[in-house]
């Protein structure tokens, strides 16, 4: 699983996007959705 996480940039404990349901990826200190671009509250 760690190899998949490193290749995809998606952590297994990452939250799901509240807008489209896609698993989010880390972007600095917050998460960003690959599907719609929504963030987890960061600017």
**Across residues 28-32, what is the average pLDDT?**
87
Q: Per-domain residue ranges for the chain?
A: 2-33
Nearest to 6, CA basis, from 21, 25, 23: 25
Give 1-27 pLDDT, tens digit per residue.
556 555 555 556 788 898 998 888 888
Instruction: Specify whether the CB–CB gap between 10 and 22 falls below 8 A.
Output: no
pLDDT for the residue numbered 36: 93
């Amino acid at each position: 699983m760690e190899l998949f996480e490193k290749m995809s940039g998606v952590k297994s404990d990452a939250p799901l996007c509240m807008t489209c349901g896609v698993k989010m990826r880390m972007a600095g200190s917050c998460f960003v959705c690959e599907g719609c671009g929504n963030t987890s509250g960061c600017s």
